Amino acid sequence: MRAGGGVSRRYARALGDVAAERGILEPVGRDLHAIAGLFKQNREAASFFANPGIPLADKRRVLQSLAERAEVQPLSASFLGLILEKRRLPDLPEIVLAYEELTDERLNRAKATVTSATPLPEPTMEGLRTRLGMAIGKEVYLETRVDSEIMGGVVAQVGSTIYDGSLRTQLRRMREQLLKG
């Protein structure tokens, strides 16, 4: 699944090109993620930057202060200043998603979202990571979620492909087969 619109992807690609050149692709990604998370958690900060009545110079000062406190890479701080100037700061969540996808493409890796009824032990997660990696031919990193509704087993999603080994789905299939006769 591709994130963001064309403009967000273009910003993400341009930043990724420079970050890769400098060897800081992943640190810049962490920086963007941290700042986007801050805006998501702090509605006042998001409102401040979205308010057209606040002068751009004030927004620039506050953004610079946030970047300094978060100890982001100089490239990340410059990029945040650029998207502020271009009035694209509200697009930061989309840019972060696009940057993450582009970074994964560059590094031949993929994110798998794994949902289980209870938290999985590390050996099980490592086994899943290995098997999914072999299935798709990429290095896989896991994002885990817990959802008691699946009752047991796991559901793994890599891109648009879903591997559903949940007890809920197995029971539903069994029910359908019994109803068919």
- pTM confidence score: 0.77
Q: How many residues does the chain have?
A: 181
Confidence of residue 181 (pLDDT cuts 50, 70, 90): confident
CATH ID of 6-105, from 1.25.40.10, 3.40.50.300, 2.60.40.10, 1.10.520.20: 1.10.520.20
Domain residues of the chain, as ranges? 6-105, 108-180
pLDDT in tens, 76-121: 999 999 999 999 999 999 999 999 999 999 999 999 999 999 999 9
